[in-house]
Amino acid sequence: MSVLVVGSVALDSVETPFGRADDALGGSATYFAASASHHTRVQLVGVVGSDYPIQKLQDLAARGVDLSGLEQMEGESFRWRGRYRHDLNSAETLETRLGVFSHFRPKIPPQFRRAKYVFLGNIDPRLQLDVLQQVEKPTLVACDTMNFWIESRRADLLALLEKVDLITLNDAEARQLTEQANLVKAARWILSKGPRTVIIKKGEHGAFMFHANRVFFAPAYPLEDVFDPTGAGDSFAGGFMGYLARTDDLSEANMRRAVVFGSAMGSFVVEGFSIARLLEITPDDISRRVAEFHRLVTFDAEAL
Ligand code: AMP
């Protein structure tokens, strides 16, 4: 089963304590696609401006990402500039330039409309809603968002929540959206607005998956060197959705495995700038890391 992603395709300029990158490939759809392509075929819908180095996306096409839904419009590409200080868990946005995104209306190509797994990456919630009108009966629709949209498009975001099955967001976003300091209460608040599943990511402290009366937790992989945290959330989502689409099984046990695959993919992307590590890793690297996650959380409960 393939997965459809609609999101930003950006040029990112990022500063971390370990270096900087200017106008590097970024955006929610780019990271998601690079990650999910390790698990299944990906259909990408997005927009870039006339200044985008489209040939650099060929690495994604070579990995089985169908770029026929990527539009190129006259104007400037979406650009995000951010900085991480020593707390690598939170990005400081220095500048967001919407460029062609401000006139973009996603057009889902006819061959993508029957996608069973749909990921609405971090973009204007009005565009996320627009996509839902164009797809036919998906099995699972998941969305992401961020502070920028929680502040500026709250009503649209609440309307979107009524229509999605799952949302992924980080702890700060969950608190901002729900005005609840406690994450269990925040998750309950979000569940009451529509989604059946809420995933709250806590950066290097792992991720929680909440259902109405069940909760699962996966740690983050204890990496010694984190180079650039940009894209960890989208790569998590790509691993999670890619694994679900490949296995086409929404049982609780399989969704738990998907969280671990998401965490594994998030742990790779932060080892380098942009999508570089996602283009390097092999299926063996992924299997080894998933096995290490298993060792990390397994303990002998017999003596209890
Ligand atoms: P994350 O996975 O949460 O680290 O997301 C990182 C990506 O989000 C970067 O590559 C940015 O280009 C993208 N991004 C940042 N701000 C926005 C925004 N307001 N809308 C869409 N994408 C954004």
Residue 304 has pLDDT above 80, yes or no: no
Residue 230 alpha carbon, nearest atom of ligand 1: 4
Residue 236: CATH number of its domain:
3.40.1190.20
Q: Which domain holds residue 257?
A: 3-85+93-297
Asked whether the beta carbons of 45 and 70 are under 8 A apart, the reply is yes
Distance 125 CA to ligand 1 centre (A): 14
Task: Tell me the three-class secondary structure of 123-152, residue by residue.
Answer: CCHHHHHHHHCCCCCCCEEEEECCHHHHHH
Does the residue 286 lie in any domain? yes
Does the residue 302 lie in any domain? no
Does the residue 153 lie in any domain? yes
Residue 143 has pLDDT above 90, yes or no: yes
Q: What is the CA radius of gyration of the chain?
A: 18
Residues near 294 by beta carbon (within 8 Å), at least 6 away in sequence: 260
Distance 28 CA to ligand 1 centre (A): 5
Distance 147 CA to ligand 1 centre (A): 10
Per-residue model confidence (pLDDT) at position 81: 97
Mean pLDDT of 70-99: 93
Chain position carrying tokens 């009366």: 213
Residue 144 alpha carbon, nearest atom of ligand 1: 3
Per-residue model confidence (pLDDT) at position 86: 82
Does the residue 230 lie in any domain? yes
Does the residue 145 lie in any domain? yes
Closest CA to 205 of 238, 177, 183: 183
Distance 298 CA to ligand 1 centre (A): 34
Per-residue model confidence (pLDDT) at position 278: 98
What are the tens digits of pLDDT across the range 20-53?
999 999 999 999 999 999 999 999 999 999 999 9
**Looking at the whole model, is its pTM more than 0.75?**
yes
Mean pLDDT of 199-223: 96
Does the residue 304 lie in any domain? no
Chain position carrying tokens 């627009």: 130
Amino acid letter for position 299:
F
Residue nearest to atom 6 of ligand 1 (CA): 231
What are the tens digits of pLDDT across the range 244-295?
999 999 999 999 999 999 999 999 999 999 999 999 999 999 999 999 999 9
Residue nearest to atom 20 of ligand 1 (CA): 123
Distance CA 83, CA 243 (A): 31
Q: How many domains does the chain have?
A: 1
Count of Cβ atoms closer than 10 Å to residue 54 Cβ: 12
Per-residue model confidence (pLDDT) at position 238: 98
Q: Extract the tokens encoding 127.
A: 């565009």
Mean of per-residue pLDDT scores for the chain: 96
Ligand 1 binding residues, C-beta < 6 A:
8, 10, 12, 26-28, 31, 80, 96, 122-123, 146, 148, 230-234
Asked whether the beta carbons of 117 and 258 are under 8 A apart, the reply is no
Q: Extract the tokens encoding 208.
A: 């929680």
Distance CA 117, CA 73 (A): 27
Residue nearest to atom 7 of ligand 1 (CA): 27
Count of Cβ atoms closer than 10 Å to residue 13 Cβ: 18
Does the residue 303 lie in any domain? no
Asked whether the beta carbons of 120 and 112 are under 8 A apart, the reply is no
